[in-house]
Structure 1
Amino acid sequence: MSARSVSPVLVGRSAELRMLETALGEAPGAVLVGGEAGVGKTRLLRHFTDRAAAAGARVLVGGCLELGSDGLPFAPFTAVLRGLVRETGIDGVAGLLPRSATAGLARLLPEFGEPESDAASGEDRARLFELVLTLLERLAERSPTVLVIEDAHWADRSTRDLLAFLIRNSGTAPLLIVVTYRTDELHRTHPLRRLLAELDRVERVRRVELTRLTRGEVADLVRGLLDREPPAGLVERVWERGEGNPLFVEALLARDGSLACALPESLRDLLLAAVQKLPEETQETLRLASAGGTRIEHALLAAVSGMDDTALTRVLRPAVEGNVLVVDGDGYAFRHALIREALHDDLLPGEHTRLHTRYAEALENEPELVPSGRLWVELAHHWYSAHDPTWALVSAWRAAGDARKAVAYAECLAMLSRVLELWDKVPDAAERIGAERHDVLEQAVLAAELAGEHERGVKLATAALREMEALGDDARCAALLEQRGRMGYELARPGYLDDLRAAAARLPAEPPSAVRARALASLATFARHLSGTDEARVAAQESLAIARRIADTPAEVNALLTLACVDIDYDGGLEELVEVERIAQRSGNQRPLLRVAVLRSHYLEGSGRHAEAVEVAAQGVELAREFGLSRTHGTFLSINLAEPLVSLGRWDEALTCLRQALDQDPAISIRTSLHVLAGEVALARGDLAEAERHLSPAREMMWRKAQDFFAMLRLESALRLAQGRPAEALEAVAGVLDNPGLPDDARYTWPVLVIGAGACGELPDRAAAADWLERIEKRAAGLAVRGPLQEAHHVTFAAKAALAHGRRDAAAWDAAATAWERIGQPYPQAKSLAHAAEAALADGDRQSAALRLRRAAVLAERLQAAPLQHRIADLSRRAGLGAPAERPAPNLTPRELEVLRLVAQGRTNREIAAALFISAKTASVHVSNILAKLEAPTRGHAAATARDLKLV
């Protein structure tokens, strides 16, 4: 009796299988499945998907391809789409999407036609991502859907970006995304490492790593392979040699059920030993197939081998029967990618060159042997591997064009870099591709910027500038300087302004040009962050004049909006924004409306018109979604949506908005404000640990602009004050005192000065407090007060400063409460009422104090602002109103009381687990039960409630 090549049962993976099935039942969500090569990821997924399909789920599978360092843009998604088309037809797929939207899929699959334009942009890429998400969610609405992406360690940049987008943005449809990857492939700098770490923080993502089998599980596997009880000692010998790797176990067992003898020590040798058992002509064909990749079409292998269908089938049959190859649709796949790697690595140098040349020649003679979207990238790979620089360069140039159409900018950059690498090896390179080297450099700069490869882009731009300088082409030099300046800004390099200034100065004012208008607009946009408003205003005005002279409406709208940003007047100025919006609408170009939405919602919030700001920002978020720009403009608008929600006291809505935006991994300039807002809500509810957690990433962007820098300082100073560290709070306030004159200064400075005045009142060193207060009042004296929001801060500052001087003024605090009530901000209104009540108590006016406290208590309770609630309760007792109505003590178990005491000390789940000798997961369950029993939304609120009830 011979051994089976694959066990008929799944061994040692029951827990992982249950987890996958649970994840499908709770979808949407994602599961990241890692493990070393041969550990059984594919087997686990096959069992899971078979059971899911039997239960009525749709299963979509796509694998990443290993093509040297080239990759293939969106390969797994192209495979999934091709399978859907094969199953339902073009019309069936089109029926799942909005009208006229299927043209966007042409960037993935030629069957959908040609892309709308060759010059793809960031917006086109974002729209493609949204389109794929829409397609998957529509499928999931019909039946639960499982999307499996295998071998993500080989994923190209574009595939990783699209995968991350889908995981972060899946809505409510039952869509489960399962991703497999080899952990032993993830070296320290592997790009998948960062993505996995980021996805770990997404709420609906589970991560599991398959480990090697135990000795008992190896015994079960051997039994399944032999289909009988193994001979004495066999399991032990297999266990010792195979070390629990299922692939090793399968390779170690000979077909007669004995332990293979004279086996090499490494996996590579084991895998080659399995191949060497096959007939010589089969081995030769497998070596040939190994040059074609992990999966190869039958027709392509036939063309390369020179065999007809019958002969090729005969030669490959032993490999299929021996489980070296498996039949996969119209082609073959190696049972394990390591088998292909071992075979390919075993090729002699001359053999390596000869085989890749045969592939390249076959593809050139019959391009239809591979899907059209793969032709040039495959040719580029094979000609490069065949050491033919001429055709490798030509193919890479064409592959770069295909990648650009597919909005796969990282892959486009890789191919353009290959062209540049080979340029000096091909004497007639320019004639071969119809472009000069400086043209290639320019395209590479653009691809690098769009791909977010700013370090590489700056180097390419510098190289391109040298060549353009030699040509004396001022317009192209100006464009490159502007690009280098923008990328320098993204890299936080202070010299970026020098590039932008040089770009604007490179071209004369006459004749007017679109390049100069763009350079001036970029200078105006970025200069205002560091150099103040004057330079930005002058640049924006000139950009506007040029745009109007050359009738460039998008440039005109951009210049008008930049001018509006330079010095916002919250007492007026909305009419100007409305007029800009009309101009954009008349132009027929809808994209400038996104920037209008950003600035208009920003203005409304800064004017204290919070409800209107919510409406405008929400419309902008929806517009960004329609344009396929949710990850960029949409997340930026989420700041402008969450901020007024926080102001209005709609904190739970704001937190949902912030969490969704952060899950999309926005740029650092966007993340800062998102973290600040989330941290301030946590602080107001008494969760100081959560506030601290948000402060750390908020500090990453300290130098850019007041909106980020001062907001971060606002959170830091408030948090330090809440922690009883007023001196450190004032050190944070110093960042605002020492940086006057930034754009939108007053709006972001006033709230920090209010905190600073409060910290002065709590500083034990009265001489130091007086010095600090003098500096703070001097800064306040130089600030403008524009609009009702700044007026509310101004009135509150006056009351705080008076308190720091030792004067309690109930009337001043009443004025502050009225100002906050007027613009609908319940939290500062409640705090002002509490201060007014405290001042009234000091004056002996218990009756009016009681009235203020009752109003404040209602607001604080609605907000679940635990620290403020405790302060109001304390003042109420002092006012003779008695303590708040006693709540019945919750029915906590002894263990839950132990956990609650540690929660009240600010311990994390991991720290609680260590203190009580339980697992972190068990600690998390206890904390969740405690929050539910105390009806507390946060750990801080639970701790405060426990103190009220004298549980701790």
Structure 2
Amino acid sequence: MPRLATGIPLIGREPELDTLRAALRRAREGRAGAVLLAGDAGVGKSRLLGELVAGADGVTVLSGRCLDVGEAGLPYLPFAEALGAQREAAKRWPVLGRLLPGLTPPERADQTMERLRLFDAVHAVLVDLAARGPVLLALEDLHWADASTRDLVLFLLSRLDTQRLLVVATYRTDDLHRRHPLRPLLAEVSRLPAVARIELAPLGAVDTVAFVSALAEGALPDTTVHTVAERSEGNPFFCEELTAAVRRGATLPDGLAELLLARVERLSPEAQRVVRAVSGAAQLVAHASLRTVCGLDEDTLESALREAVLHNVLVAAEDGYAFRHALLREAVYDDLLPGERVRLHAAFARLAGENGTAAALAHHSFRSHDLPTALAASVRAADQAAGMDAPGDALHHLEQAMQLWEAVDGPERICGRDQLALLRSAAAMASAAGEVERAVTYARSAVAEADLRDDPELAADTRHQLAIALIPFDVHRGEVSKAVAEAWELVRDRPASVVRARVLALRARAWVWGVPDVDVDELRGHVQQAIADARAAGAPEVEADGMVTLAAFEDWQGNIELSTRLGLAAAERAAEIGAVRVELRALHNVTCNLLVSGDLRGAARMAARVWQRAERTGLGWSDVGVDGRTAELFDLYVLGDWDTALDRAEVPGAPRFARARIGAYSAPILVAQGRFAEVEDLAARLAGQRDDARAGVLLGIALAEAAQWRGDPATAVAEIRTVTDRLSTLTRSSLADMRWAVVTGVSALADLAEQARRRGADTDELVGQGEELAACGELVSPMQVRLEERSPDTRAPTARLAAELNRLRGADAPAAWAVAVEEAAPLPYWQLLARWRWAAALLAHGERDAAAEQVRLVRDAAGELGARPLESAVADLARRGRLTAAPATDVLTPRERAVLELVADGLTNRQVGERLFISEKTASVHLSRVMAKLGAGSRAEAVSLAHRRGLLG
């Protein structure tokens, strides 16, 4: 069973909890108030109130709840519960006997006067208790309150003044239809100055994933966690129920279905009939369509729809009606009888055939068992989705078409294409949608199908598609080489054609996959021939792709500026002809050129341009789209712009492969911030995705760095050995990655050597291991070395490696670290790491003043970045070396100060994020750091302390 939500930390509700705590703080100070806590059923109102109560030390908590016992309700039930322990008060106010069980109330006098006395008595009890200490009165489920309770609530809230009293009342917004009796009370009290309202919205996508992950405790795959999070639509109760159901192998929990259906069963038969019809549509339903499907006259239909909308079962949009929550639709649909479902889908299919979309026709025809119509419509729907830059939708329709292929007679005649065409389309759409595993599966099937035909060009073209589909994985060197070689043999002696041009262009890029026996001149000849063939065959996209590869050749020859100009020209040409993938590849190469030339800001901007363009054209999760995102993440990491990077890494809607790759690129940032547990959790969730070697490399480096910061260099070395083994298997081993991994491993070995020397132990074996590890750079191809050796992200770890080898050998040299600092100049965070080691070397050589200056530089900059492990390490160095450095000028970083200033202006975390162009979660992280630095327990206290210390203007 999953953990109960109360057993895990509160997630995504920090701003609302801060608001409640601030209201309680004001109440402690003698400023009474009330908070109306509103939200849908299951959204977390009780949990939030429970968190407030749990932290209300020294507060008398009185709590009561209303019950759903029909229209009349139980008079004053929540007050009877809340005051149940105040039996002594009945001696002073006998009228309270009407509330407290077991007491004899006085004889009833005039009913109106008796009611007023009761109200006064309840008010007096609360005032009396508040005189002795702060009081929190919690009234839950006010939507079920009887009339007497509502009147008493109004009476109390209108008399809030200087008492040390806070009233918190919860109610369900989804139960408040337009004629609900609570609405007049809410309208009345909302005008009172002491009353505030908190609307508890569903959790955001990122917080929902975090919540489900916490519930699952690692027992569910990452993909399942995201699926559950998406289905729950941010409702924590739904998260709990769905997580439990998935663990049991169910789809919709019985208890949840019954709860949802109870809302529908309260409707009239006509309204239920309409609601069932809407469930069969699975999307927004037009009024006219409902009239046709339901067979109701206009007046009856309108009355039924109004009832369903008033009771928050359906919502009315401009163009029709839909369910308020997808799970409610699912529960109603699952409750339909089989024949009823078929009848509804057949009716909607007829409507879709007359004036609907191909997607709707395919869906309803399939569900009503009209399989030939479903097949034809699925193929048309796939074409339409592809034309609208919606590859995920296109893939869904193609997969349905392939599912139906064997179930109908004459499928080729029905849909107008053969099975091979469907397989190739599915591979292309899967690749564009980021479903890379499915892309490879379909591409392999297409190769097998093409080999059954006597068509060399078709066989070559399917192999070309397979090689392209395999690119993102980095581990299928043999299969890629085989596909490229076979494709080339099939078209080598054939005349110029589009397919031959494609294969030549692919052959020209063959160094990426380690195809043997090719040199630069041969590759250049291939790409020039590919461009010529493409022009002869009228294939401008292949021509543009060849131009991108020619630009890359200039890069490999060291002509970065020329390569960049050619790349931008190729991108412009590709954009003119609508070859978006080629355009994005060209721009990604330009991004790499900017990185190599040291313009990291420019590289980050270009990378953002790549993924944003990919996103606009439906390629956001394709390999080129993800390459753009990860390139930006790396640039922002080394630049130290970690808030922006982590905002970019929040991609809850991404497919599995993209989510893993992007998550892996965020891991080094989390380590640099000291968030080691999050990195370990990320690594555990991605452990099953063995095909993504690149993600494994980055996670391995991050885990090694985390182990080293934690003082466990032996584990760090073990992690790096796994990383270098993995790098040696990649189709394109990165020199920068290899150097990053190697310097991390050698640094950990140097730590072990220093420990050994302090014990008087021999270090020869450790030195040998380090020198062996340093030689791993030879595993990188000479072409790749030539391409990357000029890049700052290669030069910086190379210089650090030389300095770390000195440290490993017991000859730590300040001069080597000075070089490392200089080489890392474009990379602020890595430069700080080198400065820290430089300071230690200077101190060891007796240069205390120089060491103190480096300590000051690192400490101030690390604090600004939020690099907590580095900040602690340099503080420890200063302490051990008894170095004195000028104190930091400000306890808060500029970003933390900006966040606190907006909080002081009354903005929520979400509003702060919007104002500063960061996510709500990032704003919350900054505020948490501020509160920790100031020793504050709430937002309001942080603002107050900052003002007192002169940190805010």
The TM-score range, normalised by the shorter chain, is: 0.5 to 0.7
Specify the code of the residue in structure 1 equivalent to 2:799: V
Q: Does residue 787 in structure 1 map to residue 794 in structure 2?
A: no
Choose the corresponding residue for 1:16, options 36, 39, 45: 39
Specify the code of the residue in structure 2 equivalent to 1:16: G
1:140-178 CA-to-partner distances (Å, cap 9, x unmatched) read xxxxxx9x99xxxxxxxxxxxxxx9x9689xxxxxx9xx
**Counterpart position of 1:517:** 501
Choose the corresponding residue for 1:479, options 440, 461, 467: 461
Q: CA deviation at 1:769?
A: 0.6
Q: CA deviation at 1:729?
A: 1.9
* In structure 1, C-alpha distance between the alignment counterparts of 2:736 and 2:322, rounded to whole Å: 62
Structure 1 SS opposite 2:492: coil
Q: CA deviation at 1:933?
A: 1.3
Structure 2 SS opposite 1:550: helix
* In structure 2, C-alpha distance between the alignment counterparts of 1:19 and 1:833, rounded to whole Å: 52
Specify the code of the residue in structure 2 equivalent to 1:806: G
Contact residue 561 and residue 577 of structure 1 kept, 8 A:
no
**Counterpart position of 2:589:** 599
1:703–1:804 Cα change, 3 Å: farther
Deviates more, 1:808-817 or 1:329-338: 329-338
Q: CA deviation at 1:569?
A: 4.8
Structure 1 SS opposite 2:236: strand
1:21–1:601 Cα change, 3 Å: same
Specify the code of the residue in structure 1 equivalent to 2:542: A
Q: CA deviation at 1:581?
A: 1.9
* In structure 2, C-alpha distance between the alignment counterparts of 1:290 and 1:881, rounded to whole Å: 71
Contact residue 675 and residue 697 of structure 1 kept, 8 A:
no
**Counterpart position of 1:760:** 749
1:643–1:887 Cα change, 3 Å: closer
**Counterpart position of 2:773:** 776
1:873-921 CA-to-partner distances (Å, cap 9, x unmatched) read 454456654476599999xxxxxxxxxxxxxxxxxxxxxxxxxxxxxxx
Choose the corresponding residue for 1:806, options 806, 810, 826: 810
**Counterpart position of 1:641:** 632
* In structure 2, C-alpha distance between the alignment counterparts of 1:334 and 1:664, rounded to whole Å: 23
Choose the corresponding residue for 1:679, options 653, 664, 667: 667
Q: Does residue 746 in structure 1 map to residue 743 in structure 2?
A: no
Structure 2 SS opposite 1:512: coil
Structure 1 SS opposite 2:226: helix
Structure 2 SS opposite 1:594: helix
* In structure 2, C-alpha distance between the alignment counterparts of 1:242 and 1:557, rounded to whole Å: 55
Specify the code of the residue in structure 1 equivalent to 2:841: A
**Counterpart position of 1:194:** 226
* In structure 2, C-alpha distance between the alignment counterparts of 1:211 and 1:446, rounded to whole Å: 34
**Counterpart position of 1:726:** 713
Aligned-residue sequence identity (percent) comes to 21
1:838-879 CA-to-partner distances (Å, cap 9, x unmatched) read 334434444444454444445444444444444444544566
Choose the corresponding residue for 2:237, options 195, 209, 217: 209
1:572-620 CA-to-partner distances (Å, cap 9, x unmatched) read 4332232232244356357444333322222332343434434544554
Q: CA deviation at 1:775?
A: 0.6
1:507-526 CA-to-partner distances (Å, cap 9, x unmatched) read 23431222233345456668
Contact residue 672 and residue 708 of structure 1 kept, 8 A:
yes
Q: CA deviation at 1:470?
A: 3.9
Aligned residue pairs total: 677
Specify the code of the residue in structure 1 equivalent to 2:593: Y
* In structure 1, C-alpha distance between the alignment counterparts of 2:305 and 2:655, rounded to whole Å: 48
Structure 2 SS opposite 1:510: coil
**Counterpart position of 2:490:** 506
Q: CA deviation at 1:209?
A: 2.5
* In structure 1, C-alpha distance between the alignment counterparts of 2:807 and 2:790, rounded to whole Å: 25
1:476–1:933 Cα change, 3 Å: same
Contact residue 714 and residue 748 of structure 2 kept, 8 A:
yes
**Counterpart position of 2:526:** 542
* In structure 2, C-alpha distance between the alignment counterparts of 1:582 and 1:614, rounded to whole Å: 20
Deviates more, 1:857-866 or 1:469-478: 857-866
Contact residue 376 and residue 414 of structure 2 kept, 8 A:
yes
* In structure 1, C-alpha distance between the alignment counterparts of 2:372 and 2:496, rounded to whole Å: 42
Deviates more, 1:552-561 or 1:449-458: 449-458
Choose the corresponding residue for 2:677, options 668, 673, 689: 689
Choose the corresponding residue for 1:796, options 775, 791, 800: 800
Any residues of structure 2 matched to 1:835-874 within 5 Å, and which? 835-874=837-876
Q: CA deviation at 1:358?
A: 7.2
Structure 1 SS opposite 2:235: strand
* In structure 2, C-alpha distance between the alignment counterparts of 1:331 and 1:814, rounded to whole Å: 69
* In structure 2, C-alpha distance between the alignment counterparts of 1:830 and 1:326, rounded to whole Å: 57
* In structure 2, C-alpha distance between the alignment counterparts of 1:424 and 1:243, rounded to whole Å: 35
Specify the code of the residue in structure 1 equivalent to 2:934: K
1:468–1:243 Cα change, 3 Å: closer
**Counterpart position of 2:252:** none
Question: What is the TM-score normalised by the length of structure 1?
Answer: 0.57
Choose the corresponding residue for 2:650, options 662, 673, 684: 662
Contact residue 534 and residue 542 of structure 2 kept, 8 A:
no
* In structure 1, C-alpha distance between the alignment counterparts of 2:499 and 2:407, rounded to whole Å: 34
1:353–1:532 Cα change, 3 Å: same
Any residues of structure 2 matched to 1:133-532 within 5 Å, and which? 194-197=226-229, 206-209=234-237, 245=259, 247-248=261-262, 251=265, 312=297, 341=333, 345=337, 347=339, 367=354, 371-373=355-357, 376-380=358-362, 384=366, 387-409=369-391, 411-417=393-399, 419-420=401-402, 427=409, 429-451=411-433, 460-461=442-443, 464-465=446-447, 467-488=449-470, 494=476, 496-497=479-480, 498-522=482-506, 528-529=512-513
* In structure 1, C-alpha distance between the alignment counterparts of 2:736 and 2:525, rounded to whole Å: 24
Q: CA deviation at 1:483?
A: 3.1
Structure 1 spans left out of the alignment, 5+ residues: 1-12, 23-38, 56-145, 150-163, 170-175, 177-182, 214-240, 253-270, 891-922, 937-952
Contact residue 396 and residue 419 of structure 1 kept, 8 A:
yes
1:931–1:422 Cα change, 3 Å: closer
1:63-113 CA-to-partner distances (Å, cap 9, x unmatched) read xxxxxxxxxxxxxxxxxxxxxxxxxxxxxxxxxxxxxxxxxxxxxxxxxxx
* In structure 2, C-alpha distance between the alignment counterparts of 1:191 and 1:882, rounded to whole Å: 51
1:223-254 CA-to-partner distances (Å, cap 9, x unmatched) read xxxxxxxxxxxxxxxxxx999947548858xx
Contact residue 474 and residue 732 of structure 2 kept, 8 A:
no
Contact residue 553 and residue 584 of structure 1 kept, 8 A:
no
* In structure 1, C-alpha distance between the alignment counterparts of 2:708 and 2:179, rounded to whole Å: 57
1:669-707 CA-to-partner distances (Å, cap 9, x unmatched) read 6556644554333433444334444555676767666x6
Q: CA deviation at 1:667?
A: 5.8
Deviates more, 1:797-806 or 1:738-747: 738-747
Contact residue 834 and residue 856 of structure 1 kept, 8 A:
yes
Contact residue 729 and residue 759 of structure 1 kept, 8 A:
yes
Q: Does residue 931 in structure 1 map to residue 919 in structure 2?
A: no
* In structure 2, C-alpha distance between the alignment counterparts of 1:565 and 1:927, rounded to whole Å: 46
1:690–1:811 Cα change, 3 Å: same
* In structure 2, C-alpha distance between the alignment counterparts of 1:293 and 1:673, rounded to whole Å: 33
Q: Does residue 585 in structure 1 map to residue 569 in structure 2?
A: no
1:752-782 CA-to-partner distances (Å, cap 9, x unmatched) read 3222222222224724313302313444688
* In structure 2, C-alpha distance between the alignment counterparts of 1:776 and 1:483, rounded to whole Å: 37
Structure 1 SS opposite 2:39: helix
Structure 2 SS opposite 1:663: coil
1:327–1:872 Cα change, 3 Å: closer
Specify the code of the residue in structure 2 equivalent to 1:644: D
**Counterpart position of 1:555:** 542
* In structure 2, C-alpha distance between the alignment counterparts of 1:700 and 1:338, rounded to whole Å: 31
Choose the corresponding residue for 1:574, options 554, 557, 561: 561
